[in-house]
Amino acid sequence: MDTKFVTFIHTFSVNMTGPYKYHYRPWLGSEKLFLEFISGVDNTSFLTDILDALKSITPNVIGYPEACMSDDTIYLIDSLNGKFTLSKSTWGSASIFADDNQQCIDKINNTLIEDVRFKKIEVDYNDYKK
């Protein structure tokens, strides 16, 4: 079989897992930024895909905070850029935040911009002011 064709098929199938769409925006009434995933989160490969996309910062799931009474699965993740939290809802949304490490969130955003599986949807920061 032609290796160029096999490479094309592999690339095409990898790209078909996205795009996951997300906003890079402030919390309502805050200056702190986070990533809000708005599309594709229900895909069974979302967690694998996001960890793969962030492999340059070596994400490592280190645990879960105390159980909470919600429909969210919360992952505490350590990386070369510090710790962050990934929260995934059963309602088809997810978010990544690191209250005390905005540089980490910025690095994650810049990394996802470079990955074809993820598409950043621009928002107006003024919409999130008090």
User: Is the CB of residue 33 less than 8 Å from the CB of residue 108?
Assistant: no
d(CA 53, CA 44) in angstroms, rounded, equals 15
Torsion of CA 34, 36, 40, 44, to 10 degrees: 60
pLDDT digit string, tens, across residues 84-117: 999 998 888 999 999 889 999 999 999 999 999 9
Amino acid at the residue 54:
L
pLDDT, position 7: 43
More confident: 16 or 82: 82
- Mean pLDDT to the nearest integer, 58-83: 84
More confident: 103 or 13: 103
Confidence of residue 66 (pLDDT cuts 50, 70, 90): low
Instruction: Report residue 33 as tokens.
Output: 């930024």
- Mean pLDDT to the nearest integer, 32-57: 95
**In the chain, which ranges are continuous DSSP H helix?**
3-15, 46-53, 102-113
State the chain's mean pLDDT as an integer.
85
pLDDT, position 67: 54
pLDDT digit string, tens, across residues 14-24: 445 568 999 99
- Classified as helix, coil or strand, 67 is coil
Instruction: Report residue 78 as tokens.
Output: 């350590």
pLDDT, position 19: 84
User: Is the CB of residue 59 less than 8 Å from the CB of residue 79?
Assistant: yes
Neighbours of 46 (CB within 10 A): 19
